[in-house]
């Protein structure tokens, strides 16, 4: 992978060290250009011009095909969404529930993934259980097996923890849950775009992803995989003009589409999806396996450098098979470290001042020199605080 060529795709790298694609990925020039091109075309030709409508429809379906290719799914199993949270809500609210049904979440889930299930507990009386994570596959599986009962309907896990960067053993979790009769939904916010994801090999039932993090696509885009045999099990909760395969107002007849398009119910910000298509095709061209081979060695090296800094405690796992491009740690450096790194050094990271927690996103466009500078700055700040 030619990192110099890769870095030229991101103008923002000329102005800062961008280590926070775990929140929002930087926008490559080609993606931004496609977004602007479509808004300019609509400005000049009008949104309802037949050629514009036809071309946007083709772009929209091309984005669906690209998302399917990235997940090794069929296009009919992919719904285009706005983000992971929307995908989770589609599944959580579309399945049928009985009071006392159980859903298991890990104790490191993002609010966007956890709140739909907690809302179901409030509304429908389901029981939510927490699976404590550990940097050990066997411990995770043993804890999960202890939690699952005959009432467990679904296990919800992040492929990569947003808090620690732990890469969960999703295939093993799916096997265990399925043996116990439970479904599995995976939050792919921090996986798709940084390593290969094959939903067939994982054997998951649902997989939600977003375009604005590791894919480096536009905000407000995402996609949801629903395994074909479960499409009829998930009822569309929001419906509109784009939901039905058949609609007859006079006959009071309405029949949703049979595929995942049934969840795309109304007008959307159409120009976002050609830009998403460009972002997805960019990841496919780079090859997720090559991206992973660039990311993991840098992330492991960063962990090794961080542990020598006074007051720094690494949260992320050491095991390369459990590692991702997210590297998280706590620290004893005074003040708002995230703000200081940005204002004093133009280094952008994810940080929580109250928890003294920092998360570094190591993507393939990052150089080893940038990570060396980060470590040098952190060491200097830590030494000053002693």
The per-residue pLDDT for 244 is: 85
What is the reported pLDDT for 386? 74
Burial class (CB in 10 A: 0-12, 13-18, 19+), 195: buried
CA–CA gap between residue 381 and residue 337 (Å, rounded): 9
Residue 12 falls inside a structural domain:
no
- Which mean pLDDT values do the consecutive 10-residue runs of the chain (386 residues) have? 93 98 98 98 94 96 99 99 98 98 98 98 97 98 98 99 98 99 99 98 99 98 98 95 89 93 94 98 98 98 96 96 98 95 98 95 97 97 87
Token duo for residue 96: 């049928």
Distance CA 131, CA 79 (A): 28
| pLDDT value of position 65 | 99
Q: Using CA atoms, how far apart are residues 273 and 39, in angstroms rounded to an integer?
A: 12
Residue 22 lies in a domain: no
* Rounded CA separation 289/87 (Å): 25
Q: Are residues 275 and 369 in the same domain?
A: no
Whether 105 and 228 share a structural domain = yes
pTM of the model: 0.96
HSE of 17 in the Cβ direction (CA atoms, 13 Å)?
A: 24
The per-residue pLDDT for 1 is 79
Is-contact 184 104, C-beta < 8 A? no
Does residue 258 share a domain with residue 332?
no
- Tell me the two tokens of residue 321: 């098979």
CATH of residue 273: 3.40.640.10
Q: Does residue 70 sit within a domain?
A: yes
Residues 38 and 137 grouped into a single domain: yes
- What range does the domain containing 302 cover? 287-384
3-state secondary structure of 8: coil
> Is residue 60 a contact partner of residue 273, using CB atoms and an 8 Å limit?
yes
- Domain match, 53 and 111 both: yes
Same domain, 264 and 295: no
């Amino acid at each position: 992978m030619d990192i110099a060529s890769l870095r030229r795709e991101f103008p923002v790298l000329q102005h800062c060290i961008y280590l926070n694609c775990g929140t929002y990925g930087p926008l490559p020039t080609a993606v931004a250009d496609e977004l602007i091109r479509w808004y300019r075309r609509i400005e000049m030709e009008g949104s309802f011009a037949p050629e514009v409508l036809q071309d946007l429809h083709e772009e929209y379906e091309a984005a669906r095909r690209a998302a399917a290719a990235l997940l090794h799914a069929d296009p009919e199993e992919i719904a285009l969404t706005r983000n992971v949270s929307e995908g989770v809500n589609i599944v959580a609210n579309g399945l049928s529930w009985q009071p006392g049904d159980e859903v298991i979440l890990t104790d490191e889930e993002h609010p966007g993934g956890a709140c739909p299930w907690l809302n179901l507990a409030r509304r429908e009386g389901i029981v939510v259980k927490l699976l404590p994570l550990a940097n050990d596959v066997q411990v995770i599986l043993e804890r999960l097996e202890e939690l699952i009962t005959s009432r467990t309907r679904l296990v919800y896990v992040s492929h990569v923890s947003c808090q620690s960067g732990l890469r969960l053993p999703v295939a093993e979790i799916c096997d265990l849950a399925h043996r116990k009769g439970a479904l599995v939904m995976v939050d792919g916010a921090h996986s798709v775009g940084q390593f290969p994801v094959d939903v067939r090999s994982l054997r998951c039932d649902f997989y939600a992803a977003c375009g604005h993090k590791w894919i480096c696509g536009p905000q407000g885009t995402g996609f949801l995989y629903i395994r074909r045999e479960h499409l009829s099990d998930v009822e569309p909760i929001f419906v509109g003009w784009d939901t039905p395969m058949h609609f007859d107002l006079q006959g009071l007849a309405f029949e949703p589409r049979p595929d995942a398009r049934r969840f795309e119910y109304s007008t959307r910000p159409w120009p976002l999806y050609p830009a998403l298509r460009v972002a997805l095709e960019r990841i496919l061209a780079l090859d997720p396996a090559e991206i992973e081979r660039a990311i993991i060695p840098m992330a492991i090296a960063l962990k090794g450098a961080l542990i020598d800094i006074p007051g720094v405690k690494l949260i992320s796992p050491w095991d390369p098979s459990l590692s991702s491009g997210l590297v998280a740690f706590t620290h004893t450096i005074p003040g708002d470290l995230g703000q200081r790194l940005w204002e004093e050094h133009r280094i952008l990271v994810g940080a929580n001042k109250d928890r003294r927690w920092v998360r570094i996103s190591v993507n393939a466009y990052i150089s080893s020199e940038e990570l060396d500078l980060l470590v040098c700055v952190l060491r200097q700040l830590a030494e000053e605080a002693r």
